[in-house]
Structure 1
């Protein structure tokens, strides 16, 4: 019975200590959590996760991490048993989700064979993997291959292409791509990224104009649509606040 009691307490302690370490919290929390396991953890959770929603998100995040690793291991076994195109792509997608970008690149490249060598969906996956792995020249190479593809024209992968041109010291090309993606009542993520690029180039007024237009469009959305786009709304507001600070 005692073991059954202490196991969840130890898990709770470990989670709280890990969170305190990751967030550089004060040393007092370490002593409180270690010497008063139950009450210390409860006080820590109350202070750092004052809403039930945030506590739930922490729990779900831990479960998701465990499930992701388990899923990757399952897919790795499937590829060893049968290295079919589908199995390799599924595993590469899983590697992307757990930020194993180099492994994802290697698998996507192996899938570019035969009739799949020019498949636009696979090329876009590979482009994203190259970008996350910091290989901007390869992103540009794939982007040129996809230049005539209609799906790619407004895909989020084209954001990675624009940033890759920027990091490759081809700023004018990056701006041209973002200008082409700057379309009213759509491409919200693309336009937020465009504003970030303009901020990097110290073109604050142009960036603010884009963000203000976005806010107007968000304000005209129906409640459900606005709820779906809530993270983008929050990010837009944050960028506007940061620009206000720069102006003041």
Structure 2
């Protein structure tokens, strides 16, 4: 019985790792159809050479029993009520998509002597976006220098501005993520924003660039973006 659960857990970890790292699709077949040997091969070729054993164990434990990591972090905070332990617990909640509890811990951390700590504010922006509190996304985004230090967060700020009806400001921000050979998911969303603003010609230009760039990649790399290119083509055909 233990062997059975071990194999299942091993497969879950390998599939999660393959998905997270956008590895080749054939790994899923190897992991599923050659359970133990396939997982071992995947571990040796795709994981061990990238992460140390302690990180592997931690990820596997988190997948199987996510509450254990949270309990350990809560105990650490009870033992030592420090800024870093609050952040660690908040990060743990964010990892399991418990954004409301993550926000509580991030906010409590900021109540100390780290009121304007930019990295914590940036994490709060992401969490507030996930729970659709766009007022807070805008508020905190304006407290830190996104363009200099947190370029990835500009995307969330732009979409939050749209939700608040600040369309011109939103477009200015979202244009900043429209950079060639990067940000494909975000640029796809930018094209949808342009369509919502009835700027279909501009949206088509963005979509054509995405398709062209991905099409010029090697098969291995283009396969990682197959969902993006599929949706981009679908939107183009619809408009």
State the TM-score, normalizing by the size of structure 2: 0.68
Per the alignment, do residues 8 and 193 of structure 1 end up closer, same or farther by CA in structure 2, a change over 3 Å counting? same
Relative contact order (alpha carbons < 8 A, sep ≥ 6): 1 or 2 greater?
2
Structure 2 counterparts to residues 37-76 of structure 1, below 5 A: 52-53=29-30, 55=32, 65-76=63-74
Q: Which residues of 2 match residues 7-22 of structure 1 at below 5 A?
A: 8=4
- Please state whether the residue corresponding to 1:83 is helix, strand or coil: coil
What RMSD over aligned residues (CA atoms) do the two structures have, in Å? 3.4
1:83-98 equivalences under 5 Å are 83-98=81-96
Paired position in structure 2 for 1:77:
75
Alpha-carbon distance in structure 2 between the residues aligned to 1:64 and 1:113: 29
Relative distance call for 1:92 and 1:134 in structure 2 (3 A) is same
Q: Which runs of 5+ in 1 are unaligned?
A: 13-50
1:173/1:73 CA distance change after superposition, 3 Å: same
Out of 101, 106, 109, the position equivalent to 2:107 is 109
> Equivalent residue for 1:234?
226
| 1:146 counterpart = 2:147 | no
- Which residue of 153, 156, 164 corresponds with 2:160? 164
Greater C-alpha Rg: 1
| 1:116 partner SS | coil
Shift, 1:208, TM fit:
2.7
Matched residue count: 197
- Residues 1:184 and 1:156: Cα distance change in structure 2 (over 3 Å): same
Q: Which residue pairs with 1:39 in the alignment? A: none
Partners of 2:141 and 2:157 within 8 A in 1: yes
d(CA) in 1 for partners of 2:228 and 2:201? 15
| Separation (CA, whole Å) in 2 of partners of 1:194 and 1:53 | 36
Give the equivalent residue in structure 2 for 1:130.
Answer: 128
1:177–1:117 CA distance, 2 compared to 1 (3 A)? same
Normalising by structure 1, we get a TM-score of 0.66
Distance 1:148 1:157 in 2: 7
TM-aligned CA distance change 1:177 to 1:107, over 3 Å: same
Gaps of 5+ in 2: 9-27, 34-38, 40-58
